[in-house]
Amino acid sequence: MTDQPDSSPGVAGAQGSNVVVDLREYRSNKDPVPVTFHRRELDAILRIYGRMVGEGEWRDYAIDHTHEKAIFSIFKRSGEMPLYRVEKNPKLAAKQGAYCVLNAHGMILKRGHELEQVLRVFDKALKLIKT
């Protein structure tokens, strides 16, 4: 008995070391790697998150990494639905942009190819105060 897999001589050849593997089949059998936020992306998101926590508007967050997208959820209180979700979906990178910000109802507030541009939805507009 050996550690080598059984192979028929017609498929593997006479030597037994020439095995042909279909790359598409190999990739489909492997579990896909989940989509994640890179360090720079997390820095940009956490910079805005920290500012809003300091202003008392946000209190908690959660990060989810699935096989299709990465999600940064922002909460007012940890037991509620998220106020906002920042999503990264690489499948949409060539079309609408990989990044988007959604509100609690699932409505897309901003979508784009660059995260910094998409996160500007959280910038507050200055208001003129007449005295």
- Residues 61, 49 contacting (CB under 8 angstroms): yes
Whether 63 has a pLDDT exceeding 80, the answer reads yes
Helices (H) and strands (E) in the chain, counts: 4, 5
Q: Look at residue 126 in the predicted model and tell me its pLDDT.
A: 64
Top-confidence residue, 84 or 1: 84
pLDDT digits (tens, 9 = 90+) for 64-113: 999 899 999 999 876 778 999 999 999 988 898 999 999 999 999 999 99
Side-chain half-sphere CA neighbours of 35 within 13 A: 17
The mean predicted confidence, pLDDT, of the chain is 84
Residue 75 to residue 57: CA distance in whole angstroms: 9
**DSSP conformational letter for 62:** E
Q: What is the pTM of this model?
A: 0.70
H helices present in the chain, as ranges: 9-12, 23-29, 39-54, 115-119
